[in-house]
Every structure is written in C-alpha cells, then in structure tokens.
C-alpha cells in the first residue's frame, strides 16, 4: 500500500489560498474554478498552501492541487497515475502524480476534468476508508 501524503495544517478554509488567487494574474484565474470544484467535492475537504500552491485534502490527506506558471496552469492529482482517464487529459510520467494543463485561449474538457477531480477525491477517501 502506498503511504498517504499528509498535510496536517490543512483547514476547512485557508485564507492564504484565497490570497494566492486574488494576488495573481490571468493564469491563476484559469485554475481558480477548478480549485473551487475540489473544494465543493464534500464536507471532508480541507485546504492548505503546500510548496506555494493551493492544495486540496480529505482531512489531512492531499488529493489535488493547482499551480500557475508563465504559460499555463496545472490541475494536479497526487495519485493521478491510478486514476481512470478516459478523456486522455492527464500528463506526466511520475510514479504517482499527474496533472492537466490549462492554457489561455484553449478550450478545457470540463466534463473530463470534473470527472478526474471527483475520481481523485473518491480515490483518497478509499485510501483512508472514508465514506462519501
């Protein structure tokens, strides 16, 4: 079994997460609705800034994050390598993590990305034996 990545300082709402979005540029705004979707997964979702990026957790167990870079934003998943990805959105070749890139002016497969977010939330719940 994979050791679960935990962030014990995760809180229901972290003001530093909101500050990250409001102090940013257009790229951060591309990621904001997707982090909001992570927040809306369920009452067990907590958040924290980790390595400079908003990170979503179930309790203290990380499942997703968003990041902003010069030319794109990432919506990432800590256990993304184990997620079903029928739309083929996930990128990366690491042992566990995968991400979806968002670029200015390019359409987003909203249904596919929402499906991944929900799957990542359910996946971490299963790793923790949490009910929905």
As for how many domains the chain has, the answer is 1
Burial of 93 from C-beta contacts in 10 A (0-12 / 13-18 / 19+)? exposed
The residue range of the domain holding 33 is 15-125
- Which pLDDT tens digit goes with each residue over 33-70? 999 999 999 999 999 999 999 999 999 999 999 999 99
Per-residue CA distances from 19 to 41, 48, 96, 124 (Å): 21, 12, 29, 26
Q: Which residue has the tokens 């962030």?
A: 7
- Which pLDDT tens digit goes with each residue over 5-40? 999 999 999 999 999 999 878 999 999 999 999 999
Q: Kindly state whether residue 132 falls inside one of the protein's structural domains.
A: no
Would you place residue 131 in the very low, low, confident or very high pLDDT band (cuts 50, 70, 90)?
low
Q: What's the DSSP call for residue 79?
A: T
Q: Kindly state whether residue 57 falls inside one of the protein's structural domains.
A: yes
Q: Kindly state whether residue 9 falls inside one of the protein's structural domains.
A: no
**Strand boundaries in the chain, DSSP class E:** 45-50, 53-58, 61-68, 73-77, 98-102
- How far apart are the C-alpha atoms of 58 and 6, rounded to whole Å? 9
Any idea what the CATH number is for the domain that residue 89 is in?
3.90.1150.200
Among the listed residues 41, 32, 126, the one whose alpha carbon sits nearest the alpha carbon of residue 79 = 126
């Amino acid at each position: 079994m994979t050791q679960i990545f935990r962030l014990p300082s995760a809180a229901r709402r972290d003001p530093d997460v909101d500050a990250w979005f409001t102090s940013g540029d257009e790229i951060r705004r591309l990621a904001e609705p997707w982090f909001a979707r992570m927040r809306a997964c369920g009452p067990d979702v907590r958040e924290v800034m980790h390595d400079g990026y908003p990170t979503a957790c179930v309790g203290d167990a990380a499942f997703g994050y968003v990041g902003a870079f010069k030319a794109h934003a990432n919506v990432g998943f800590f256990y993304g390598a184990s997620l079903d990805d029928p739309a083929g959105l996930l990128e990366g070749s690491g042992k566990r993590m995968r991400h979806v890139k968002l670029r200015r002016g390019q359409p987003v497969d909203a249904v596919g990305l929402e499906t991944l977010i929900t799957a990542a939330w359910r996946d971490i719940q299963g790793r923790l034996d949490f009910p929905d």
